[in-house]
Amino acid sequence: MAQITLKGNPIETVGSLPAKGSEAPFFCLVKTDLSEAGPADFAGKRLVLNIFPSLDTAVCASSVRRFNQEASSLDNTVVLCISADLPFAHSRFCEAEGLKNVVSLSVFRSPEFGKDYGVTITTGPLKGLLSRAIVIIDADGIVRHTQQVAEIVDEPNYAEALKALV
């Protein structure tokens, strides 16, 4: 389990992020059109998993905007923005923000995602949501970079994540 904080108060996750060099865990998540997406849908692409608690927070929204702007311009790379928000909320947010370079995915049908990636928060007021984390997966499905953001109200280290893609 990872120990992180929410505004300085300790909270915990169900586990730890996948190890660098390991095969990325399988996932099947829900897109904004209610269809499902998994690794086969992105075969041969590098993936940025931008995992966060909710689009309804400023930091989460900022990370989606930032990855839409930066990582999505990289060749052979898809940015997946993953939270427990319903697909309808993801769709509204992306439409309102004019975001077209990220794929929004919901875990509402797939609680195993949070367990498999070690990001489900198990204590505190955000219990049941996902922690803020970044996982970079190469085109062969191998985890190349991870970051469990220690303070959930902080943004991830974009420079380190992007460096793992070049």
Would you name the residues annotated as active-site residues?
A: 60
What is the four-CA torsion angle of 16, 11, 123, 137, rounded to 10 degrees? -30
CA end-to-end span of the chain: 30
Contact criterion met (CB below 8 Å) for 102 and 71: no
Residues shown for the chain: 166
**Which candidate, 50, 9, 15, 48, places its Cα nearest to that of 153?**
9
Tokens 């498999």 -> residue? 116
Structure tokens at 61: 């929204």
